[in-house]
A = this chain, B = another copy of it.
Amino acid sequence: MKVLIVYAHHEPRSFNAALLERSLAVLASEGHETKVSDLYAMGFNPVATGADFHERRFPERLQYDREQKHAVAHEAFSPDIAREIEKLVWCDMLILQFPLWWFSVPAILKGWLDRVLVSGVAYGNGRRYDTGGLKGRRAMVVTSTAAYATMCEPGGLVGELDVVLWPLQNGTLAYTGFEVLPPVVAYSVNFVDDATREGYVAGYEERLRRLATTRPLDFHALADFGPDWRLKPEVAPRAVGQMRSGVTL
């Protein structure tokens, strides 16, 4: 497989950096090709602006997603975005590796999603979920957190992991067509002993060896929804975001 790792950590002497290094060794030994976008090392700019396009369809008022679509057709992306789109389209497998900050990705990685998953490539013209622009590819979240595992269980302090990761795993990765593999999480990474940390590394290695065969998470296909964009009455909700919670906002 061709594996793209988008990596967002600020410290080369971190657990995450060690994990990245080991993952590259394992992927090589399994015969996979790899590319890494090390966002901090690249000084990646995460802020979406009009400067992201060297030609504009609507120069008077920035409509970011419409300019993305135009830029796809006219090769009008700034070089940093064009390079990342090239890697994205190249890969069969996308790994997002990052520390969980505020139960989401660090800003530098959010900016990669905002600027690189462009309309006209990743989605557009109704293509999303199993018809998304990046279908045929797999993706996986690899993250570390100060939270304990029990905090991310049903009834846990910060909520179920699949709720916490819903905007990323469903709203972003599944939305653009990826098959999303179960996430790899190193819990309370600053507070555990070396043996536990080694266990996290070993667990990740094992997951890397089964990239092609691991069963993806179950998100709904586009055909499961009716013209009102709600699940058809005959379809039982399977993913957490589509279940009725009983909570009224």
Interface residues of A (CB under 8 A from B): 10-11, 13-14, 40, 46-50, 60-65, 101-108, 110-111, 113-114, 117, 129, 146, 148, 150-151, 153-164, 166-168, 170-172, 175, 182-183, 190, 217-218, 225, 228-231, 237-247, 249
Contacts and interface: CB of A to CB of B under 8 A. Distances in A.
B161 A163 contact: no
A47 to B, nearest CB: 5
A244 B103 contact: no
30 contacts: A10-B49, A40-B47, A48-B101, A101-B113, A103-B166, A103-B167, A103-B171, A103-B172, A104-B168, A106-B114, A107-B113, A150-B229, A151-B229, A154-B245, A158-B241, A159-B166, A159-B240, A159-B241, A162-B245, A162-B247, A163-B166, A163-B240, A163-B241, A164-B167, A164-B241, A166-B166, A167-B167, A238-B247, A240-B247, A243-B247
Nearest to A104: B167
